[in-house]
């Protein structure tokens, strides 16, 4: 009997526990359903907002793309306009330059015509006078050349005369500013070739001091002269060092 009562009590308690658990499970299910409904509504709301935002973004991107294309086209038009303006400016400058040149040529031509009229001569007389003037100019140039040659011959003759009449002769005086260089030196025969000649006033027997970096190297005397070259020998007792190409030469007895 006691055992039956215990079994009955156990069954009653089990049913009570099962009812209690079922109540809690039902409550949890109800809560989950409520939460699911809330989250579903929130998700739907978010999805709606997302779709609206995406549509607006797509519209904005389309407007931006159109704006960029318009800006690119505008930039190209601006560059074309700038290039066209530069070309037009260059053409205008060229036209102005040509116009100025044409005006100068016109003014020069008018001045020549006025000069012809001022002479009181006709064109044939002017042409003949110009021809005569050219002939006279050629004669003067020829005379100047001849005078220069005669002067050179006279200077050479005087140079030779001085050599025989003076006990110590150092050649004709040369400008103190004159300087040249040794372009060739032959140590075997002790002579140097200078880049100075008749055009610079050098004649035979002219004496030069050879120096390097401001230090005296030797004293040389010219033996022969060409137009822009001369040959000079090292004077005995005056070789203080080895003469080299590139050494500077200055007159030993410059004009005062």
pLDDT for residue 82 = 78
Confidence label for 100 from pLDDT (cuts 50, 70 and 90):
confident
What would the mean pLDDT of 168-173 be, rounded to a whole number?
76
The residue ranges of every structural domain in the chain are 1-118, 121-169, 180-251
What would the mean pLDDT of 175-201 be, rounded to a whole number?
94
Hey, is 232 helix, strand or coil?
strand
pLDDT for residue 147 = 59
191: Cβ–Cβ under 8 A, 6 or more apart, which residues? 185, 223, 231, 232, 233, 234
Question: Check: CATH 3.10.20 for 180-251?
Answer: no
Report yes or no: 205 and 169 within 8 Å, Cβ to Cβ: yes
Look at the block and give the residue holding tokens 């579903």: 40
């Amino acid at each position: 009997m006691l055992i039956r009562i215990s079994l009955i009590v156990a069954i009653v308690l089990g049913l009570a526990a099962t009812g209690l658990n079922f109540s809690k499970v039902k409550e949890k299910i109800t809560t989950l359903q409520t939460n699911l409904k809330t989250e579903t509504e929130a998700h739907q709301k978010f999805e709606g907002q997302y779709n609206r935002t995406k549509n607006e973004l797509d519209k904005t991107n389309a407007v931006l793309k159109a704006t960029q294309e318009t800006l690119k086209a505008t930039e190209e038009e601006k560059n074309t306009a700038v290039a066209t303006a530069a070309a037009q400016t260059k053409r205008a400058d060229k036209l102005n330059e040509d116009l100025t040149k044409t005006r100068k040529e016109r003014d020069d031509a008018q001045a020549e015509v006025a000069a012809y009229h001022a002479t009181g001569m006709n064109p044939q007389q002017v042409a003949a006078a110009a021809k005569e003037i050219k002939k006279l100019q050629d004669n003067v140039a020829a005379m100047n050349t001849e005078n220069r040659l005669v002067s050179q011959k006279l200077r050479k003759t005087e140079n030779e005369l001085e050599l025989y009449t003076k006990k110590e002769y150092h050649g004709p005086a040369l400008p103190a500013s004159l300087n040249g260089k040794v372009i060739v030196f032959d140590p075997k025969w002790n002579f140097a070739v200078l880049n100075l000649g008749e055009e610079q006033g050098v004649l035979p027997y002219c004496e030069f001091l050879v120096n390097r970096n401001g230090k005296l190297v030797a004293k040389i005397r010219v033996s022969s002269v060409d137009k822009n070259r001369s040959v000079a020998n090292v004077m005995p007792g005056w070789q203080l060092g080895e003469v080299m190409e590139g050494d500077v030469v200055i007159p030993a007895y410059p004009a005062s």
